[in-house]
Every structure is written in C-alpha cells, then in structure tokens.
Amino acid sequence: SFLSKLENKTKGKLQKQICQVVLDHFDKQYATELGDTWTRVRDVLTYPLCWQYAVLLNKFSWSAELENTLRVKGYHPAFQGSLPYLPASFTCYIRRTPGRFPAQKHQAGKLKEYYLLNAASLLPVLALEVKDGEDVLDLCAAPGGKSVALLQCAYPGNLHCNEYDDLRSIWLKQTIESFIPDPLINLITITKLDGRHIGDLKPELYDKVLVDAPCSNDRSWLFSSDIQQATLRLIERKELSTLQFQLLRSAINALRPGGSLVYSTCTLSNAENSDVINLILSSCSNVTPVDISKLAKAVSQEFTFLSGMQQHELLVLPEKGRAWGPMYVAKLKKM
C-alpha cells in the first residue's frame, strides 16, 4: 500500500541519518555505564518513529477547544496526583502513542496556545518549585521552553533568562514573545552573558536558579548529518564537564543563602551528570543536596528512572510507550 511504501521510505531515511561514529561511541560508554538497560534505551533513541511529544498549555492563551481536541486525540494530563509541587495553572498533555501534535505557526500579535516538548524537560521546572515573587535565574535559557514552563507555575518577582550563544539567544527572545503577554514581559530580563561569570556579576541575587547546562545532547547527536562535526563534538565532549562545573559554581554564587538550584542535562553520560554534582558537593562547603525522590515517585507512572540514583538526583530513561528523556535532574540548596 501507499502508506507502507511511505513508511519504508521514512524508515530508510531515518536509518540512513544515524551517525555511526556517535553510535559507536555511545555503545562503548553506555553499555559500560548502564549495562543491559542501554539496549532498551538505544532502541528508542535510534528510532525516532517511536518518539513522543508533550503539549504544554499556555495559561496566558487558554483554549477549551484545544483541551477538547487533545482529549479526543487520546491525550491525558501528564502530571496528576501526589506531586510535592504542582501549580493548578500548570497543564501538560501527553499520550502513550508516538507522534507529534502539529506545531503552531507564529502569528504577530497573537500568543501561542501550547509548546511542544519532551515531557521529561518539565521535571527540572517542577523540581525548582518556584513561588510567586521569587527572583529566578534561568542560566542557560534557550530555546526557552523551561522559562515558559516556569511562568506557567508562578509569577516571579523577576525572571532573568540568560543565553550566551547569539543564535540561540534570538530563538529565546522569540519564544518568550510568542508565549508571554505584555505586562508580564516587563518582569523578564534577557541577557547574553557568559554564564560562568554571572555569579560574580550578580552575587546572591536570586532565590532560585535553573542550570539547564549545555551537554552532549544524546538524541540530536545520534543524527548528526555531518561526520566532521560529530567527531569534533565527541572530542569536545571531554571538556563539557569542566564547563558544567564552572556554570554550577557561578549559579551557587548567584544564589542567596537559603536559595536552591536545579541542574539538568539531556544526556545519559555519568561524567556530565552525577560526577559533576559530586564534584560540586565535595568542593563547595556551602551547598547541600535536596531530596527529590518524592517527585520521582509521584511521576513514576509516566516516566522510567534509572534505579540506584541518590535521593537528590534522577535520570529519566526513554523506553517504548514512555519515550521521554534522557533527562538528568539534581537539586541543591545553598546554606
């Protein structure tokens, strides 16, 4: 049939795009770090036809019609029940089957009604537990999904969104403008500073900091079409943990005593996850880990987590039917 022909064509296209250099590298590293679990995760990461996308609703542009459409299409609210922190205004829809709800085109003067994302990327936002009036820093904010999600949760006193990269910074600005209404935009500051220096420039200014760090993006790296770029990425990968450590140290300096920070990445790599956090905990006497196991437990219906993690961290593992992640999340508090 026409459909199966089309499917084979897409399949062929998808199979072709996998970057063997990256896959070989991941196979070596992750088979060691994750054992048998890697086989299952690998099946999802290398097969985009089974990927899922969540629909985060924009409370500033709410539509009953949209919620109806989502329910008719088999979507259900993702976060329900006994979460330690779940603002009533925070609504995200997911469904078990793969595929993506159509994206909304940008229309001048009209706010978008929803944001499509990997549902696991909302966990750092829920872990941060932002409350009304708090001063919040999103240190590596582009493309802006987490900033938008933070604003669905609470009205910060001031939200500082920072993005060092020029192109990504433009993207961040567009995202904020597409989702956030005028009066509220005045609470948002967008900067292009080097995140490693923000702690020195703005010491002890924030109640909450999100460090969604630059990392080996396992999903997109697997489909690098350019072998040279992929090889370069794998070489530079070794430097990432140093950058992540520096960003975290800067974030700690930017926090008020008693404030907390969430660190997140979209990689499975131990060197960029637990190792970085352990290094921070052993070298900064003024921070302490915060238990986020209640959050993990509350969402264990929808997400699969790597077992054996410490209480202040979690790692979402993609699997079929729950193809969210990879997403590492850790929470720390400044004394």
- pLDDT tens, residue by residue, 288-333: 999 999 999 999 999 999 999 999 999 999 999 999 999 999 999 9
Q: Is 92 annotated as a binding residue?
A: no
How confident is the model at residue 6, as a pLDDT?
47
Q: What is the pLDDT of residues 261-273, one digit of tens each?
A: 999 999 999 999 9
Do the beta carbons of residue 26 and residue 218 sit within 8 Å? Answer: yes
* The pair of three-digit structure tokens given for residue 259, joined into one six-digit string: 């404030």
| Residue 230 is assigned to a ligand binding site | no
Per-residue pLDDT reduced to its tens digit, 83-139: 999 999 999 999 999 989 999 988 888 999 999 999 999 999 999 999 999 999 999
Element (H, E) at 278: helix 274-283
CATH of domain 14-51+118-334: 3.40.50.150
257 is in an annotated binding site: no
For the chain, which residues make up each domain, given as ranges?
A: 14-51+118-334
Helices (H), 36-122: 37-45, 64-72
Q: Annotation-wise, does 140 bind a ligand?
A: yes
Q: Which residues are catalytic?
A: 266
Q: Is 268 helix (H, G, I), strand (E, B) or coil?
A: coil
> Coil, helix or strand for 325?
coil
Tell me if 157 is assigned to a ligand binding site.
Answer: no
Question: Does the annotation list 132 as a binding residue?
Answer: no
Q: What percent of the chain has pLDDT over 90?
A: 91
Mean pLDDT of 216-235: 94
Cα–Cα distance measured from residue 144 to residue 161, given in angstroms and rounded to the nearest whole number: 8
Whole-number Å distance between alpha carbons of 129 and 183 = 23
Residues 6+ apart with CB under 8 A from 55: 70, 75, 92, 93, 94, 101, 114, 115, 116
Q: Is 143 annotated as a binding residue?
A: yes
- Whether 15 has a pLDDT exceeding 60, the answer reads no
pLDDT digits (tens, 9 = 90+) for 179-224: 999 989 999 999 999 999 999 999 999 999 999 999 999 999 999 9
Got the DSSP string for 203-222?
TT-EEEEEEE-----HHHHT
Going by C-alpha positions, the residue among 241, 214, 46 that lies closest to residue 143 is: 214
For residues 240 and 218, is the Cβ–Cβ distance under 8 A?
no
Question: Are 276 and 248 in contact, with CB atoms under 8 Å apart?
Answer: yes
Name the nearest CA neighbour of 66 among 107, 117, 101. 101
Instruction: Pull the structure tokens for residue 334.
Output: 């400044």
User: Which two structure tokens, joined as six digits, stand for 103?
Assistant: 């994206």
Q: What is the pTM of this model?
A: 0.95
Question: Is the pLDDT assigned to residue 257 strictly greater than 80?
Answer: yes
> Residue 14 above 80 pLDDT?
no
Task: Give the mean pLDDT of 60-71.
Answer: 96
Interaxial angle between packed helices 227-254 and 20-34, expressed in degrees from 0 to 180 and rounded to the nearest 10: 50
Percent of the chain with pLDDT over 70: 95
The tokens describing 85, both together, are 């922190």
Three-state DSSP state, 158: strand
Residues ≥6 apart with Cβ < 8 Å to 244: 211, 213, 214, 215, 263, 265, 272, 276
DSSP state letter for 117: E
Q: Is 83 exposed, middle or buried (0-12, 13-18, 19+ CB in 10 A)?
A: middle
Rounded CA separation 56/74 (Å): 15
Confirm whether residue 194 is marked as ligand binding: yes
| Cα separation, 291 vs 332, whole angstroms | 9
Q: Residue 172: which residues within 8 A CB-CB, separation 6 or more?
A: 141, 142, 143, 144, 147, 161, 163, 190
